[in-house]
Amino acid sequence: MSAVAQMSPTPPAGTLAPPMSASPLDAETLVSQTGAIVDQELKPLTARVDREGLYPEAVLRSLGYAGVYRAHLANARTDGEVDFPAAIRAMATVSQECLSTGFAVWCQDTCAWYLEIGNPKARELWLESLASGTVLGGTGMSNTMKAFAGIEDLRLSGERVEGGYVVNGSLPWVSNLGEGHVFGSLFTLSGDTRQTVMALVDCRSPGFSLRQSAHFVALEGTRTYACIFDNVFIPDEHIIDDNGAGFLERARAGLVMLQFGMGAGNIQGCINVCRSAEPMLGHINQFLDDRPDELQEELDDIVDAVLTLAETPCEASPDFFREVLELRLAAGELALRASQSAMLHTGAKGYLSSAPAQRKLRESYFVAIVTPATKHLRKELARMHEMDV
Amino acid sequence: MNDTPYRKWICDACGYIYDEAKGDPDGGLPPGTRYDDMPDDWECPLCGLRKSDLRPLPETPIAEPAGGPPSVGKDRRKGQQRRFGGPAHLVIVGAGIAGWSVAEAVRRRDPLRPILLVSACDGAVYAKPSLSTSLAKALTPADLVDASAETRGLELGVETLTRARVLKIDRVKRRLITACGGIGYGNLVLALGARQRLLPVAGDAADEVLRVNDLRTYRELRSRLDAGARHVTLLGAGLIGCEFADDLTAAGHRVTVVDPADRPLSALLPVGVANALRDRLADKGVDWRLGVTLAALGHAEDGLAAQLSDDERLRTDIVLSAAGLLPVTEPAARAGIAINRGIVADRDLCTSDPVVYAIGDCAEIEGTCFSYIEPIRRQAEAIAAHLVGEEEPFIPLPPLVRIKTPSMPMTVCVSDPRLGAQQNWEAISRDVKGIRLEQRGVGTKPNFVLTDDYARFGSEMYREHFG
Ligand SMILES: Cc1cc2nc3c(=O)[nH]c(=O)nc-3n(C[C@H](O)[C@H](O)[C@H](O)COP(=O)(O)OP(=O)(O)OC[C@H]3O[C@@H](n4cnc5c(N)ncnc54)[C@H](O)[C@@H]3O)c2cc1C
Ligand SMILES: Cc1cc2nc3c(=O)[nH]c(=O)nc-3n(C[C@H](O)[C@H](O)[C@H](O)COP(=O)(O)OP(=O)(O)OC[C@H]3O[C@@H](n4cnc5c(N)ncnc54)[C@H](O)[C@@H]3O)c2cc1C
């Protein structure tokens, strides 16, 4: 199967949330509105998103309308505040129900975050559309992060031309894409591979194409494609930062911190599954490891730490980033344990193909393998530790 | 007929292996299709990338680094424990002299109580005052370390958790939150120390200002000096600034000292003594820039360009800030524990939360933050006593300050710090052995300034009064 999948025209904005324009909600209201959208719009679709690869576009638009994507964007808020904790909590509320949708929210939040901290010109052109969810977007930075960690080579290269760059290469697995979508990515300058440029790519650009090949065991509803760049022109107005390496350093803590929305949501979902089995099976489940109360304590510790760090997303010290990675690793590991536990707590009922437990099990692996993956994190933390001693 | 052996190719992105012998029948390529004969628009069946993203499969697997991944990484990172402490635990936060002193004092009185010492740094036991006197003695940062946290912990029967910054104190759950996991406590001791004040400096190299306040930052200073840095600009002519100035010049570095006051140690020393110190250090080569501040710091051709508030410019290699210590109060402040300048504690070192103590540079007792060693051991004893239900409150005493400038060593005791710089000092001696000043008639407490050879009588005079 190839090419851009079923495109639907932009649907009417969400039916639940009041028109929000740019005025931000306080965190509690945002989280509870997110919960309402999840209950009323997402829940009925979760099984289809998982099994049929349905892309929950209408839900994503509703979340945008409710203001979910602007919580962490000072430039898209009338009060100029930055509320990462609110963004993470809202994403967790979505991920607790469906990680495909939660991941799409992360893609959107992160793409907007790049614009927030990038060149003013690109920000003026795109930030508001992304913050409101009228344009949906993704991030093709896995290759970049792995390249900077010395795991692989950068896959895109660009040549300077009048008014912009011409980019060639390919990226595997970029999610939340489609016609009219955009995503942030980074390319090297041909001739000088040490110099990198961060740019916003418009999927409608001539020479750009999306390909879908294989299917995944979970996260199917995320519109994840391979991206082919065949002499794609990227105009100067779409350059987010001419200094790609410096940009990544500024963006990385925020990018990774936002992922806790996915991890925390998935883990909480697993704990809830364990608890739901308790009234009937508690007498026998007490013989299992990783009981819901223990998992909850570990999750609360991680969430408490993350929400504290998330108050200062622009803190640039290496110690701070080490803490973020340490917690990111813990979230991936706990997700695997929690989903395992959800299976064991629910038993055969969780083994049914319609059961949330087995879906959460498949989803939880994504928390542990999406960049920065468990092995990548351990490598990076070991490197930081070596440098320290 | 092509009889070169079939080759295998790997998709760069997803690891799909294209074996020419097998082809890709689902993709329309029969077995035996050579790479060269594959159409350019072929798509990888796993990830959708192109023929051009395939590369020859290496004959041998990519070698692992010799010995596998670094062992620290392996041991520490795999399946790490993330829950620590518990309701019976005494948890000490901070591995400076204060933190370790509490661990020792409590262990002496209570051999069984579980103790966990947590620190943001590596927890090594070292004498912090030596940071400003080691160059001249040719001591390396490693020489300053008495023991690693692990070793000292084992000796004392104390668990340690290092490189774990406490981000939050949850007083309801009695739990500390760190990136390494959660820590339950029954009692908590905050020994968070003090940090160097951050001065507002403009310019694109403002981040380059070093604040040496622990072994790690000291190592950084030393590695920059070892890398050939010649000229050091010191911000602040207080105790630490003057000590560093003397130590750096003794080791052959050129030093400029910048301070908004008109003389060094202006708050502590009488004018005449301060001026004598200034002259003594000037003789050693210290370049004083008094009455000014550093306005901006920029990157220069090779090194840094400093711009002073009087528009004077100078080329320098390192800027070291020693502009005063501020008690570390977060995360106590966030948790709603009473804070003034430091974490407010009574004579039992109890904070506003009765199960939480504060000690050392971070604590404030009866309005005073003590930023020196002497009170710490007595504070530690007071905490240990209080924990086992005994009474041995801490009694605040005026500080005995030793200024470790070998060019002009000094011992100073001023019971009220505001008196230091005043005029009514009586010169008891002023001769080849140094200066001895005393101030009488300001209460019953001793007030003295001793320099050079007289300096070593300071402890004796102090003990006469305070035992
Ligand atoms: C559903 C889904 C959605 C995704 N969405 C996105 C997205 O939106 N944005 C994004 O940036 N990423 C996305 N990714 C990618 C993801 O973040 C990870 O980067 C990806 O799973 C690969 O990481 P890894 O740790 O498995 O790397 P590995 O493949 O395990 O190893 C790292 C690298 O080593 C190299 N390598 C592997 N085998 C060999 C070999 N035999 N010889 C030489 N070199 C080799 C490869 O270059 C490989 O990339 C998505 C992945 C999935 C599954
Ligand atoms: C250069 C220099 C020279 C000095 N000379 C003298 C002298 O001659 N005589 C004298 O009496 N005094 C001197 N002092 C002062 C003396 O060194 C200090 O008073 C004393 O060392 C303070 O000890 P402390 O344990 O309170 O703090 P510190 O040694 O600062 O220890 C603080 C500890 O708290 C940890 N910490 C902080 N925040 C957190 C957190 N959130 N989570 C976990 N851990 C945390 C740190 O990692 C560290 O382990 C000097 C100081 C300096 C810097």
Torsion on CA atoms A13, A18, A24, A28, rounded to nearest 10: -110
Whether A219 shows a pLDDT value over 70: the answer reads: yes
Residue B81 — left, alpha, or beta (φ > 0 → left; ψ -120 to 50 → alpha)? Answer: beta
User: Which residues are CB-neighbours of A175 under 8 A, at least 6 positions away?
Assistant: A103, A104, A107, A138, A219, A222, A223, A224, A225
Do residues B167 and B179 make contact, with C-beta atoms less than 8 angstroms apart?
yes
Whether A18 shows a pLDDT value over 80: the answer reads: no
Do residues A65 and A125 make contact, with C-beta atoms less than 8 angstroms apart?
no
Using CB atoms, pick whichever of A322, A333, A382 lies closest to residue B72. A382
Q: How confident is the model at residue B333 (pLDDT cuts 50, 70, 90)?
A: very high
Mean pLDDT of chain A: 92
Please give the class, per CATH, of domain B8-56. Answer: mainly beta
Task: Tell me the HSE value of A203 on the side-chain side, using a 13 A CA sphere.
Answer: 27
Alpha carbon A102 to chain centroid distance?
7
Among B110-124, B214-228, B258-272, B413-427, the range scoring the smallest mean pLDDT is B413-427
What's phi and psi for B355, nearest 5 deg?
-95, 5
pLDDT digits (tens, 9 = 90+) for A110-152: 999 999 999 999 999 999 999 999 999 999 998 888 888 887 8
CATH superfamily, region B84-195+326-387 = FAD/NAD(P)-binding domain (3.50.50.60)
Q: CA A34, CA B399: separation in Å to the nearest integer? A: 58
By a Cβ cutoff of 8 Å, what residues of chain A touch chain B?
2, 155, 170-173, 211-214, 225-226, 228, 297-298, 300-301, 304-305, 308-309, 319, 322-324, 326-327, 329-330, 333, 378-379, 381-383, 385-386, 388-389
- What's the pLDDT score for residue A256? 97
Do residues A277 and A345 make contact, with C-beta atoms less than 8 angstroms apart?
yes
Whether B284 shows a pLDDT value over 60: the answer reads: yes
- What's the pLDDT score for residue B75? 45
Among A38-42, A83-87, B407-411, B435-439, the range scoring the smallest mean pLDDT is B435-439
- What's the pLDDT score for residue B59? 80
Counted across chains A and B, CB pairs separated by less than 8 A come out at: 114
Residue of A nearest to B71 (CA): A382
E-strand spans in B252-310? 254-259, 287-290, 294-300, 303-308
Q: pLDDT higher for B384 or A153?
A: B384
3-state helix, strand, coil in chain B (%, to 5): 25, 25, 45
Nearest CA-CA partner of B204 in B304, B105, B286: B304
Please tell me the total number of residues recorded for chain B in this structure.
Answer: 467
B325 C-alpha to center of ligand 2: Å?
10
Mean pLDDT of chain B: 92
Whether A17 shows a pLDDT value over 50: the answer reads: no
Q: What is the 3-state secondary structure (H, E, C) of chain A?
A: CCCCCCCCCCCCCCCCCCCCCCCCCCHHHHHHHHHHHHHHHHHHHHHHHHHHCCCCHHHHHHHHHHCHHHCCCHHHCCCCCCCHHHHHHHHHHHHHHCHHHHHHHHHHHHHHHHHHCCCHHHHHHHHHHHHHCCCCEEEECHHHHHHHCCCCCCCEEEEEECCEEEEEEEEEEECCCCCCCEEEEEEEECCEEEEEEEEEEECCCCCEEEECCCCCCCCHHHCCEEEEEEEEEEEHHHEEECCHHHHHHHHHHHHHHHCHHHHHHHHHHHHHHHHHHHHHHHHHHCCCCCCHHHHHHHHHHHHHHHHHHCCCCCCCCHHHHHHHHHHHHHHHHHHHHHHHHHHHHHCHHHHCCCCHHHHHHHHHHHHHHCCCCHHHHHHHHHHHHHHHC
Does B43 sit within 8 Å of A386, measured CB to CB?
A: no
CATH superfamily, region B206-323 = FAD/NAD(P)-binding domain (3.50.50.60)
Looking at the DSSP bridge assignments, the partners of residue B290 are: B259
Strands B54-56 and B8-11, how do they pair? antiparallel
Please state, as a whole number, how many other Cβ atoms lie within 10 Å of the Cβ of residue A204: 10
pLDDT digits (tens, 9 = 90+) for B411-467: 999 877 666 666 678 889 999 999 999 887 666 677 899 999 999 999 888 888 776
Using CB atoms, pick whichever of A226, A309, A323 lies closest to residue B48. A226
Q: Where are the domains of chain B?
A: 8-56, 84-195+326-387, 206-323, 409-466
Ligand 2 contacts CB of residue B446 (under 6 A): no
Q: In the structure encoding, which two tokens stand for residue B87, read together?
A: 């309701």
Give, using CA atoms, the residue closest to atom 19 of ligand 2: B372
> What average pLDDT does this structure show over B332-361?
98
Please give the class, per CATH, of domain A259-388. Answer: mainly alpha
Do residues A228 and B49 make contact, with C-beta atoms less than 8 angstroms apart?
yes
Chain B CB contacts of A388 under 8 Å are: 122, 163, 216
- What's the pLDDT score for residue B1? 57
pLDDT digits (tens, 9 = 90+) for B21-39: 999 999 999 999 999 999 9
Strands B187-190 and B159-161, how do they pair? unpaired
Alpha carbon B35 to chain centroid distance?
59
Q: Coil, strand or helix: which one is B279? A: helix
Strand arrangement of the beta sheet that strand B410-413 belongs to: B400-403, B410-413, B448-451, B434-438, B426-431
Q: Coil, strand or helix: which one is B245? A: helix
- What's the pLDDT score for residue B440? 74
Q: pLDDT higher for B1 or B57?
A: B57
Whether A333 shows a pLDDT value over 90: the answer reads: yes
Asked if B77 reaches chain A (Cβ–Cβ under 8 Å), the answer is: yes
Q: What is the CATH number of domain A27-135?
A: 1.10.540.10
E-strand spans in B151-244? 159-161, 168-170, 175-178, 181-184, 187-190, 194-196, 231-235
Ligand 1 contacts CB of residue A152 (under 6 A): yes
Q: How confident is the model at residue A230 (pLDDT cuts 50, 70, 90)?
A: very high
Q: CA B375, CA B398: separation in Å to the nearest integer? A: 10
Strands B410-413 and B194-196, how do they pair? unpaired
Asked if B78 reaches chain A (Cβ–Cβ under 8 Å), the answer is: yes
- What's the pLDDT score for residue B67? 57
Q: In the structure encoding, which two tokens stand for residue A193, read together?
A: 């591979």
Ligand 1 contacts CB of residue B15 (under 6 A): yes
Burial of B201 (0-12, 13-18, 19+ CB in 10 A): buried
Percent pLDDT > 70 in chain B is 93
Q: Coil, strand or helix: which one is B176? A: strand
Ligand 2 contacts CB of residue B240 (under 6 A): yes
Using CB atoms, pick whichever of B45, B47, B83 lies closest to residue A173. B47
Q: Where are the domains of chain A?
A: 27-135, 142-243, 259-388
Q: Coil, strand or helix: which one is B226? A: helix
Q: CA A169, CA A140: separation in Å to the nearest integer? A: 12
Q: Which ligand is nearest to the CA of B402?
A: 2
Chain A CB contacts of B45 under 8 Å are: 213-214
Chain A CB contacts of B178 under 8 Å are: 305
Chain B CB contacts of A226 under 8 Å are: 13, 43-44, 47-49
Among A22-26, A84-88, A104-108, B327-331, the range scoring the smallest mean pLDDT is A22-26
Burial of B429 (0-12, 13-18, 19+ CB in 10 A): middle
Percent pLDDT > 90 in chain B is 79
Nearest CA-CA partner of A376 in A125, A69, A150: A150
Tell me how far apart the 2 most distant CA atoms of chain A are, in Å. Answer: 72
Interhelix angle for A244-258 vs A292-309, to 10°? 140
Q: pLDDT higher for B53 or A197?
A: A197
Q: Coil, strand or helix: which one is B375? A: helix
CA distances in angstroms from A102 to A176, A216, A262, A274, listed in the order given = 11, 16, 6, 21
Q: Which ligand is nearest to the CA of B95?
A: 2
Does B181 sit within 8 Å of A298, measured CB to CB?
A: yes
Whether B369 shows a pLDDT value over 60: the answer reads: yes
Please check whether the two domains, B8-56 and B206-323, share a CATH topology.
no
- pTM of this structure: 0.89
Asked if B43 reaches chain A (Cβ–Cβ under 8 Å), the answer is: yes
Cα–Cα–Cα angle for A305, A310, A311, rounded to 5 degrees: 110
Q: CA A353, CA A47: separation in Å to the nearest integer? A: 10
Strands A225-235 and A192-202, how do they pair? unpaired
- What's the pLDDT score for residue B71? 46
Nearest CA-CA partner of B319 in B208, B230, B242: B208
Please give the class, per CATH, of domain A142-243. Answer: mainly beta
Q: In the structure encoding, which two tokens stand for residue B442, read together?
A: 């300001």
Asked if B206 reaches chain A (Cβ–Cβ under 8 Å), the answer is: no
What's phi and psi for B339, nearest 5 deg?
-130, 140
Whether B302 shows a pLDDT value over 90: the answer reads: no
Chain B CB contacts of A214 under 8 Å are: 14, 45-48
Do residues A347 and A280 make contact, with C-beta atoms less than 8 angstroms apart?
no
Q: CA A169, CA A41: separation in Å to the nearest integer? A: 38
Do residues B339 and B332 make contact, with C-beta atoms less than 8 angstroms apart?
yes
Q: For the complex shown, is ipTM > 0.90?
A: no
- What's the pLDDT score for residue B69? 54
pLDDT digits (tens, 9 = 90+) for A156-203: 999 999 999 999 999 988 999 999 999 999 999 987 778 999 999 999
Burial of B240 (0-12, 13-18, 19+ CB in 10 A): buried
- What's the pLDDT score for residue B418? 66
- What's the pLDDT score for residue A145? 85
A211 C-alpha to center of ligand 2: Å?
58
Q: Could you tell me where the DSSP H helices lie in B320-420?
A: 374-387
Q: CA A278, CA A297: separation in Å to the nearest integer? A: 17
Q: Could you tell me where the DSSP H helices lie in B142-292?
A: 149-156, 215-226, 239-250, 271-283
Q: CA A67, CA A112: separation in Å to the nearest integer? A: 13
In chain B, count of helices (H) and strands (E)?
Answer: 8, 30
